[in-house]
Amino acid sequence: MVLTERTLLGPGPSNPYPEATAGLAAPLLGHLDPEFIKILERTCEGLRALWGTANPVTLPLSGTGSIGMEAAFANTVRPGDVAVIAVNGLFGVRMCEVASRYGAEVVRVDHTWGEPVDVERVMAAHPAPAVVAAVHAETSTGVRSDIAALGAAVRARWDDTLLLADCVTSLGGIEVAIDAWGVDVAYSGTQKCLGVAPGLAPFTFSERAWRRRVEAPPVWYLDLGLLGAYVRGGPGGRTYHHTAPVAMIASLDAALRRIEEEGMDAVAERHRAAGLRLQEGLQEMGLELFTAEGHRLPQLTSVRVPEGVDSAKVRHELLADYGIEIGAGVGEYASSVWRIGLMGHNARLDRAELVLTALRRVLGR
């Protein structure tokens, strides 16, 4: 497995926790080896702790974060169901696309990019939706939305409506509390704050969602009826589902144990401090942050490219001269915004200072 030696800081794959790399390099176990089953079970247990849930159906899906999004809608949406989806960036747009492919009648609640989800507008969008969905940490803009407030509103008003949350960029970086927030279905990706290579989608599905689930979704591979039996083991024993990516799961297991040892509060504090320092430093340099104050993610900072500066040239120089990758903006902000990730192992003050120093040099500020 080649993980680049560069100091990758962008919103894409970044330097993983060293423990996770060691997990990838460990001797391979067979996917039905009892030793591997123990690792899988420990991983599911570790995910439950990190998600803050008792959901029995909590597992790493085999695929990137998008497979979590796909599984979330495939198992909850029947043709004609109303899905209210908050859109405040690219990944909300993708949710609409996925939900509509499963036949949902999508009620899209658009927000200005860079602003958090407006709970009142989402709640007013439809009298009785089957599903309400939102992105917790919008990687396209660096904004954090208040899923706790959305969950409280959904749970206070509807018994059956399911709440779906995209936690790809939040899990392992900032607080996530699935049960306390009333979230039914959530998914993440290993390559962001969990500090593991890309390839797995941590996933959790509540008992309420299980009762309302689509029994035979049109996509066999993501049928939770099959996947749930694989991780839980039924009365007849564990049901074979597929050849799990054992190296990736060992790597995730190692990263989860590392996060548990450090303590999630300490990990969140490390992300907070690094992100804050980066954001302060960028402003000291005279740069303007893109996302509204009070709603900025520490792990993903978006900043406006100064007038007259060639965005791509700066990104190229940072990568070529300093081994630092920062992301371009998304959509209409492709050349006017940079996105800088400090996630997982990179969420450290020294990394924040490194980016600031390199950027200052490249910009001549």
**Binding residues for ligand PLP, per CB under 6 A?**
64-66, 69, 91, 135, 139, 166, 168-169, 189, 198
Residue 224's φ and ψ, nearest 5 degrees, are -70, -20
The least distance separating ligand PLP from the CB of residue 180, rounded to whole angstroms, comes to: 21
Which is nearest to 168 in space by CA: 248, 274, 69, 61? 69
Residue 90 or residue 349: which is nearer to ligand PLP going by CB? 90
Report whether 322 contacts 358 (CB < 8 A): yes
Q: Which two tokens stand for residue 269?
A: 């504090």
**What's the min distance (Å) between Cβ of 35 and ligand PLP?**
28
Nearer to ligand PLP, 163 or 362 (CB): 163
Distance CA 209, CA 203 (A): 13
Minimum Å gap between C-beta 239 and ligand PLP is 26
Beta bridge partners of 205: 57, 185
Q: How far is the CB of 27 from ligand PLP (least distance, A)?
A: 27
CB-count burial class (<10 Å; 0-12, 13-18, 19+) for 319: middle
42: closest CA among 24, 21, 59, 22? 59
Nearer to ligand PLP, 182 or 189 (CB): 189
Q: Which is nearer to ligand PLP, 66 or 336 (CB)?
A: 66
End-to-end Cα distance, the chain: 38
How many DSSP H helices and E strands does the chain contain? 13, 14
- Residue 131 pairs in a beta bridge with 83, 162
In the bound complex, what is the minimum distance in angstroms from residue 156's beta carbon to ligand PLP?
A: 26
Nearer to ligand PLP, 81 or 138 (CB): 138
- Smallest gap from Cβ 233 to ligand PLP, in A, equals 28
Backbone angles phi, psi at 225, to 5 degrees: -60, -40
Specify the residue, 65 or 228, whose C-beta has the smaller distance to ligand PLP: 65
Q: Which residue is nearest to ligand PLP (CB)?
A: 65
In the complex, the smallest distance separating the C-beta of residue 234 from ligand PLP, rounded to whole angstroms, is: 30
C-beta closer to ligand PLP: residue 52 or 198: 198
